[in-house]
Chain A
Amino acid sequence: MTQETPQWRPKLKDIADQEELFTSGQRLCAGCPAGSMARMAMHALPRPKNTIVSQATGCLEVASTIYPYTAWRVPWMHSLFENAPANASGIEAAYKARKRQGLEDDIPDLLVFSGDGSGFDIGVQAASGAIERRHNFLYIIYDNQAYQNTGIQRSGATPKYAWTTTSEVGKAVPGKPTWKKPIALVYAAHDPEYCATASVYHWRDFMMKVRKGMEKQGPAVIVVLAPCHRNWRYPEELGMKMAKLAVETCFNPLWEYDGETRTYTMSAPSMQFVKDPSKKKPIEEWLEPQGRFRHLFRPTRRDDLIQDFQNLVDEDWEFIKRLTEM
């Protein structure tokens, strides 16, 4: 039996007093929620003065460490696109070996960031291996649903019908032909200590999950949906609204996996749609404001495609409900 400790609940007042470990001055696009995501994650660290960050190539990396500047007040390392969890494995191994030999007095906590490029596609192998080896790290994948850093190319996280520069919308093809990869379930199936989905809009839920993931002794994964106005084509001030709608339409169900009990639980922000399904908004409300789905509405409305999208969302939602025994 583990000792029950009262769960940490972040208060805005307390966060405001904390030192910023991911600082302003970085060069993410105006309104990019990836910055908010990183800032929230850093504010949720259980040991902020004893944490090392390993970062995969992506928007967050290129925008935060343009030499000779850095936005990070923690030890931070970027090596490549697909190897951030492997890189972190080495960092942990170094501290373990050197502590054993009396050369270090502590093993720092490890936080790994990547986008969906690495987290869903090119870096799955390295992440899978690192989880299987049970390294002690939290892997946060911020999912903005395409390779935005290279100029909006489709990824395994891009949903069906979305426009990207490699899933073009034309007379013959209406955007990406396939659905997105259920990557959080893929990582949860590795039986890590902890796994969760999150949204940048639900800041408290996200921060509590980060805290939980960091506190677990062993691997933990969080996939957090972070809209990108450059690809999604919404007015840049609406990033948080788009993240909120993704939860309200149940496109992005928020859940947790606990490695100890091997159970899935629906998180509070999504729970209301279980309790009262009438609150679940039609997917159209999320699709319509996004330019990447414009061809579903203009010049002619494509009810068939909108309905297909709705069915895919519903299938996923029903599956997650079953998984969380709702």
Chain B
Amino acid sequence: MKPMPAKQILMGINGDEAVAYAAKHALVDVCAAYPITPQTIIVEKFAEFVANGEVETEFVRVESEHSALSACLGASAAGARTFTASAANGIELMHEVIFLTSSIRQPVVMAVADRSPSGPINIHGDQTVSLAQRDTGWIMIYCENSQEAYDSTLQAFRIGEHPDVQLPVMTMLDGFVLTHTLENVYLLKDADAHKFVGRRQPMMITIDGKQVPLKLDPKTPITIGPLQLFDYYMESKLQHSEAMEKARPVVTQINNEWAQLTGRKYGDGYLQPFKVTDADAVILTTGSSAGTARFVTRQLRAQGKKVGLLKLRTFRPFPDKKIAKLLADVPVVGIFERTHTTGSLGGPLFNEVRSALYDLDTRPTILGYYGGLGGRDVTPDHFRTIYKELLKIKDTGKSPRNPIKYITVRK
């Protein structure tokens, strides 16, 4: 018999607030953050928890995003569970620290309220900035709705702090569409959430035959962040890569534990296929766009059209083999991404997915679509148009010469 999920509290909140509740429930020791639209509600809500004495967190109101993540890094190295949140220009300003946090192996959790990069300056959503962090060595989870933002943020602490992993995690929620839109969100009761996340346990290392915690502690002095040149740098990189590989089963394990506790499950933690198995055409997308795409997929299926949706949730570690398996028999695939890259064949999602499918015996025809940039509304019509094109390619067998397209752009 399946265990009954824990009783939960239903609240009408937006995505930012959902993330703030997750940080509260995660018993965060240190939160350091700098405000930026559309992340502001996260820090404002968290400041409220601090003001009301609802959390024991030390909240460091830093003077920049660079210092926000630097403070988190120091706090984490001193053994604290840490959380920050940012967006767009803030993420770009802290880019240097983003690389360092993962290479020093500190399991900081960061919510990214995805917003377009400047310029032209624009405060609305797309995923260009977060996807530009793809080589920084963080675990990256994209959320479809506010519920998933709450769920994923809480899961992130368990994933990142897992003894096999010890890596930072970023959870992405689309600017405004999720950050500022009221939704019904189920929150765990405090005690249940606390039981799920537990306390951060320091890693133990052996120095001169003695077991000491891997943290800045005067009782057991260690050096963190030394200079590694050509004689050791590559070995550190390999270890980092191995940790990311070890995170693969952990993402699924935590997703399953969460399902037992809450009744909510996000596929295998990486991908959520919807009517993919017998599909003639599949759209792969991520974030809030997946919700819209699923709505259209359901409509078209009702009309007898064999279309399917593959929602990508975890971008790092990238589930290449799982994608190849799911799309092996699909004739045409369209990748919709709210990101923009110039001078290359398609954006990061297109590139990674196409590469994942390269080893298949018969590869699908793959198209890439840029859309929803700078907060332009991603509507059901986007996906109707894409499906129409994909199905036409399937029927005619003719692929377009240029596989990269823009959706709803004026010339």
> Do B70 and A86 touch across chains, with their CB atoms under 8 A apart?
yes
Q: How many residues of B contact A (CB 8 A)?
A: 44
Q: List residues of chain B with CB within 8 A of the CB of A76.
A: 216, 221-224
Q: Does A183 contact B (CB under 8 A)?
A: no
Q: How far is the CA of A79 from the CA of B220 in the complex (A)?
A: 20
Q: List residues of chain A with CB within 8 A of the CB of B228.
A: 67
> Do B70 and A80 touch across chains, with their CB atoms under 8 A apart?
yes
Residues of B199-228 at the interface with A, using a CB-CB cut-off of 8 Å, are: 199, 216-218, 220-228
Tell me which of B58, B74, B218 has the highest count of chain A C-beta atoms within 10 A of its own C-beta.
Answer: B74
Q: List residues of chain B with CB within 8 A of the CB of A67.
A: 226-229, 232
Q: Does B262 contact A (CB under 8 A)?
A: no
Cβ 8 A contact of A61, one of B75, B216, B227: B227
Q: Does A177 contact B (CB under 8 A)?
A: no
> Do B64 and A87 touch across chains, with their CB atoms under 8 A apart?
no
Q: List residues of chain A with CB within 8 A of the CB of B29.
A: 93-94, 97-98, 101
> Do A97 and B30 touch across chains, with their CB atoms under 8 A apart?
yes
Q: How far is the CA of A173 from the CA of B60 in the complex (A)?
A: 46
Q: Does A73 contact B (CB under 8 A)?
A: yes
Q: Does A274 contact B (CB under 8 A)?
A: no
Q: List residues of chain B with CB within 8 A of the CB of A74.
A: 218, 221
Residues of A83-118 at the interface with B, using a CB-CB cut-off of 8 Å, are: 83, 86-91, 93-98, 100-101, 103-104, 108
Cβ 8 A contact of A93, one of B75, B227, B229: B75
Q: List residues of chain B with CB within 8 A of the CB of A78.
A: 224-227
Tell me which of A62, A65, A83, A95 has the highest count of chain B C-beta atoms within 10 A of its own C-beta.
Answer: A83
> Do A126 and B70 touch across chains, with their CB atoms under 8 A apart?
yes
Q: List residues of chain A with CB within 8 A of the CB of B72.
A: 90
Q: Which of B76-84, B134-142, B181-189 has 4 or more CB atoms under 8 Å from chain A?
A: B76-84
Q: Does B112 contact A (CB under 8 A)?
A: no
Q: Does A75 contact B (CB under 8 A)?
A: yes
Closest A residue by C-beta to B217: A75
Q: List residues of chain B with CB within 8 A of the CB of A100.
A: 56, 58
Q: How far is the CA of A70 from the CA of B79 in the complex (A)?
A: 21
> Do B71 and A86 touch across chains, with their CB atoms under 8 A apart?
yes
Q: How far is the CA of A105 from the CA of B225 in the complex (A)?
A: 25
Cβ 8 A contact of A82, one of B32, B56, B66, B218: B66
Q: List residues of chain B with CB within 8 A of the CB of A94.
A: 29-30, 58, 74-76, 78-80, 82
Q: Does B282 contact A (CB under 8 A)?
A: no
Q: Shortest CB–CB separation between residue B241 and chain A, in angstroms? A: 18
Q: How far is the CA of A62 from the CA of B79 in the complex (A)?
A: 25
Cβ 8 A contact of A83, one of B67, B199, B223: B67
> Do A79 and B73 touch across chains, with their CB atoms under 8 A apart?
yes
Q: List residues of chain B with CB within 8 A of the CB of A91.
A: 74-75, 77-78, 216
Closest A residue by C-beta to B64: A125
Q: List residues of chain A with CB within 8 A of the CB of B217.
A: 75
Cβ 8 A contact of B221, one of A73, A80, A126: A73
Q: How far is the CA of A83 from the CA of B224 in the complex (A)?
A: 15
Q: How far is the CA of A67 from the CA of B231 in the complex (A)?
A: 9
Q: Does A133 contact B (CB under 8 A)?
A: yes
Q: What are 7 inter-chain pairs, A to B, with CB distance below 8 A? A: A54-B74, A62-B227, A75-B216, A86-B67, A89-B62, A97-B29, A125-B67
Residues on A lying within 8 angstroms of B by beta carbon are 49-52, 54, 61-62, 65-70, 72-80, 82-83, 86-91, 93-98, 100-101, 103-104, 108, 125-126, 128-130, 132-133
Given A80-B97, A86-B74, A129-B63, output 13 extra A-B contacts at Cβ < 8 Å.
Answer: A65-B227, A72-B223, A77-B216, A78-B224, A78-B227, A82-B66, A83-B70, A89-B32, A90-B30, A94-B29, A96-B58, A125-B64, A128-B63
Closest 9 CB pairs of A and B: A90-B74, A129-B63, A90-B71, A94-B80, A90-B75, A86-B67, A94-B78, A83-B70, A65-B226
Residues on B lying within 8 angstroms of A by beta carbon are 29-30, 32, 56-58, 60-64, 66-67, 70-80, 82, 96-97, 100, 104, 199, 216-218, 220-229, 232
